[in-house]
Every structure is written in C-alpha cells, then in structure tokens.
Structure 1
Amino acid sequence: MKLTTSALIAALAFSVLPPAMAADNSVATVNGKPIKQSLYDYIAKEASSRGQAVDDNVKNVIINKLIGSELIYQEAQRTGLDKQPDYIAKEDLTRRELLVNTFLQDYIKKHPVSEADTKLAYEKYKQELGDKEYNARHILVATEAEAKDIIAQLGKGGDFAKIAKEKSKDPGSQEKGGELGWFSPAGMVKPFSDAVAKLQKGKYTTAPVQTQFGWHVIKLEDSRSTQAPSYDDVKDALQKQLQQRHLEKLLTDLRSKAKIEAPGVTIAK
C-alpha cells in the first residue's frame, strides 16, 4: 500500500526511527550528529511538487543522500574548510542570493501581473511592431564626416556591400556587407527605423543617421507586410517583461528610501 506524502512523513518518526531519534525530530544520525527531519521534509515536498511519488524507495534514496552529504560535511569541517575566508565569503553570498531570490519570487506571487495590464502591453507591442518589416543594410562609422564621405562614394557608383566590409564598425554585419536581414521597426532604435521607413526599395539615405551607436548610412533592400503574433503566443513573454518592470520599480523605490554610502563608487539610480 502506498502512503500519501503527508502520511509517509508523519509515519516516519514512529515506524522507521528509534524513539530517541523521533524525540529529536531527526531522520538519521551520523557520528552522533542528527540529520534534521526538516531537511527531509523539504526535499520530499520539492519532489512531490514535481510529480514524484514519495514512496518507501524514494524515502530511502533521500535519506541515504542526506547521510552521504552529512559524511562529506563532517569531513570538510574536520579539515577546516569551513573556516577559510573564501568559503565564509561564498557562504555569505549564497545565503544572500537565496534570500533575495526567495523574496523576489514571493513578491511576484503577491503582486501578479493582471490580464488587463498584459492586454494593454499587447496593444502597445502591436503598435510598435507596425504592419511592415524591412530588409536593409547599413554602414556604421564613428563620425558624421565619415558617413558623408561614404554617401559621396555611393553617389559616384560605389558598391554598398564592399564599402560596408571595408569601413563599417558593426561587427555583426560588417563581414556580410552590412546586411541586417529582416526586422520590424520595434527591433531597431527609433532614428534608425524612422529612416528605413522613409526609404524606397533599393535606395540609401542621402544624409547620415545618428543613433547612440554612431553614424549610419542605410540602404533598403526590400519590405513586406507583416502581422503581429496572437495574444496567446506572446502573453507569457509580455507578463515576464511586466514582472521585470515591477521588480525594477521596487528596487528604484528601495534605493530612493535608503541611505547608501560607498566612497569612490557611482551609485546606480
């Protein structure tokens, strides 16, 4: 007969463990040191949440793994590894990260993204995506003067792809003659996408386009109509984006209320 997880855990102290161990609320002892029942309970709970049936065999596996871990743990203590500065620092960082991640998971659970907010984000996403996508090339340089010189070369019949391979500073497209492939306006910074949208097929920008990356000369290879993916297809991704924004706002709020001192360091806002 199989026991439920709760019944199995409740039965362990009375049917498997000797009376002294039951009183100490432990599942085993190793060299006189107890392995806490709470450790077993947590592992069993995690296994159950993943759909694993915690039967007698799984129980034995869990407890034997805890015993093996305890043996190594005691040996590490005997050799003094737990007293080394690097270990102490790493232990502190691990505890911090565990608590931070647990808090963030709890915060997201208590502040879920609403369906209404997700649908608003979807409408904004569709608007940014637009109804067209473009296939273009570009040449990225550091100065406006360089970009103007390239435009002059193109005006004299220069080959766009060849010039891109020679002069473009964009490592992702330089070797491909400046080719960017198909993209939506939302996939590029606004000055770039605005310039592309004004071009006719086969034409290039006759004035340099400035973005935070530098100065661009852009050539439109082709364009085509496109349709936004359905709400259901992007719902999960949109909710994750909104959750991330909520967490960023939380951190910003905490920073604004905190007194932070870090000499010689520029504190992020």
Structure 2
Amino acid sequence: MSLRTATVALALVAGLVALAACERQADTIDDSKVLATVNGQPITETELEQYRQLRQAREPIADKAKEREVVLKEMIDRVLLAQKAEANGLDKDPEVQALLKRVRENILVQAMIRRNLKDNPITDDELKTRFDKEVRDTHKTEYQVRHILVKDEDEARDIIKQLKGKGSFENLAKKHSIDVQSGKNGGSLGWINQGMVVPEFFEGVSRLEKGAVSSEPVKSDFGWHVIKVENTRAAKIPTFEEFMGDRQARANFQRRLQDEHVEQMVKELRASAKITTSE
C-alpha cells in the first residue's frame, strides 16, 4: 500500500522498531519460534517477519537467506541499544516520551487505515464506475507540442512578438527556454495528453488549433510559457478490460480509490469530533 498517510506512518513505525524492535505488549500472545534471546529478551519468528516487512519497504534485499541473516543481526543490535537506553533512563526522557507518543499514534493510524480498507474493499463495480466517469471527463485529443518557458511575462510577450515577425520557434526555444531538456530540442515536448502536464499548460494547449502559436503567454508555477501545437490526434483510450489487464495501472488506480476511502473516513471523523484550536 502506498498511501501518503501510510508512508509517513511506516517511516515512524520503523523508528519505533529501532527503539524497541522486539518488546511485547503484555496482552499479546506470540507462540512462534524463538530465534534468539538478548539478555533474556526473546526475538521470535513473528517479530522477525514483522520487522523484515518494515525493513524491506526501506531497503529490500533480493537474497532471502541473506536478508534473514541481516534482519536478525540488525534486530539483535537494536534490542541491545534499546536495553542500553532503558538502563540509562532514556525512556523516561520527556523528548523521547514525546517521540514515542507520536510513533504509537502513527502505528494506530496505520492499523486504522488497514482496518478501513479491509472492511471497505475496492470492488470491481467501484473501479468500473470510476473508470467510466474518468473516460467521460478525459480530453479526447492528444497534442504534439513545443514550448518556450521563461521567468517573466514581458520576456514571453517579446518572444511572441518575435515569432509573429517570422522568428524560428526552435531557435528561440534553444536560446531562451529555461526548460533545458526541451529547450535543447527546440522546445519539443513530444505528444502530450491531459494529466501529463499541469492543468494551466494543458488548458493553453487545448485552446490552440493545429499549427498555431499562443498569442498570449500561459502562466504556471514553472513560469511563463509560449506554446506551439504542431499536430493533433485522437487520444487512444483503453477499454476497462484492457486497463484492468495492466497490473500496474490497476494497482495505481485502486490505490487512488483507497486514498479517497481514507480521506472520507477522516472527513467523517472531523465532522463528528469536538475540535478546538488556539489559532
């Protein structure tokens, strides 16, 4: 799962493991095989697997036998460090306690996200409904585009003036564009469609006819664009079956809907909560 919230939680979970990788809750029963003991504290098969999954998200090891060896050694070292920290009273330090509180909070966030997604799985019908809506909302044309990106509006307007005077778009792009990658190719961005570029830029592109150059510069967060549409063609939109046949596309699409499920849960929690702030 690659939810933004989950990613943040995972990083903090790893921090907690670093402090107490194998410490058990009093009410937790773990009867899996004990792989090692560190000053009397056991490290079990279950704990190793949990830590391995966390570690793999940060630093995967292809060789499974090697991974197991590395993970167990790392867990032993972490337990030793955690025991040393407790022996020195660091677990009572206010700053450490505050960090542990935040980490515990994020572990619970991660658990709640998992529970929500388990209880409200993304169905094929939901995927189909969203796919059909996005197809309806998708711009049906692709554009072969060049652009010249500059820092200020006056410079963009001067370039447009030069183009009206028969200046070469490609040469002006090479000379003036701060988009170095496209600039060295005469401003060429190749074929683009909706979603590949920022909305302001695509809106500017979609207003132009084939062969036209923008008469007004287009502003985006990157600067000011002068745009030329060299060609157009119908966008190739896959069928739902074709789209679902692409495992990566399906996974990404499903994660987007999972994001929305989590966002909706948070929205409902906010609506029913009593929240006060000092700002």
TM class by shorter-chain length? 0.5 to 0.7
Q: Deviations over 1:182-231 (max 9, x none)?
A: 21123345553344345344331223345566543210133334422423
Percent sequence identity over matched residues?
36
Residue 242 of structure 1 pairs with residue 262 of structure 2: no
Q: Please say if residues 213 and 228 of structure 2, whose CA atoms lie closer than 8 Å, have aligned partners that are also in contact.
A: yes
Alignment of 1:95-114 (within 5 A): 95-114=104-123
1:154 to 160, 163, 175: 163
Shift of 1:158: 2.0
* Structure 2 contact 48–72 (Cα < 8 Å) conserved: no
The alpha carbon displacement at 1:124 in A equals: 2.7
SS in 2 for 1:196: helix
1:134 equivalent in alignment to 2:139: no
Quote the Cα distance in structure 1 between the aligned partners of 2:183 and 2:96: 46
CA deviation after TM superposition for structure 1 residue 109, in Å: 0.9
Paired residue type of 1:207: E
1:99 & 1:257 partners in 2: Cα distance?
A: 19
1:164 aligns with 2:173: yes
Farther-moved stretch of structure 1 (241-250 vs 198-207): 198-207
Q: In the alignment, which of 20, 43, 49 is matched to residue 47 of structure 2?
A: 43
Partner of 1:231: 243
User: Does the alignment pair 1:183 with 2:192?
Assistant: yes
CA contact (8 A) 1:128 1:185 kept: no
Q: Choose which of 218, 222, 231 in structure 2 pairs with 1:222.
A: 231
Mean Cα displacement is larger for which, 66-75 or 150-159?
Answer: 66-75
Q: Deviations over 1:210-254 (max 9, x none)?
A: 556654321013333442242312332222111111212222333
Q: Partner residue of 2:128?
A: 119
* Counterparts of 1:140 and 1:62, CA distance in 2: 49
User: In the alignment, is the contact (CA less than 8 A) between 1:138 and 1:179 conserved in 2?
Assistant: yes
* Paired positions, count: 228
TM-score of the superposed pair, with normalisation by structure 1: 0.64
Segments of structure 2 that go 5 or more residues without pairing to the other structure are 1-30, 54-69
1:142 and 1:214 in contact (8 A); partners too: yes
Instruction: Give the superposed CA RMSD.
Output: 4.1
Q: Which amino acid aligns with 1:247?
A: V
**1:165 to 1:62, Cα distance in 2 relative to 1, 3 A:** closer
Q: Which amino acid aligns with 1:137?
A: R
Of the two, which has the highest radius of gyration?
Answer: 1
Q: Which moved more, 1:197-206 or 1:139-148?
A: 139-148
Shift of 1:106: 0.9
8 A contact 1:143–1:214 mirrored in 2: yes
User: Is 181-190 or 245-254 further displaced after alignment?
Assistant: 181-190
Tell me the equivalent position of 1:253.
268
Determine which structure has greater relative contact order: mean sequence separation of CA pairs < 8 Å that are 6+ residues apart, divided by chain length.
2
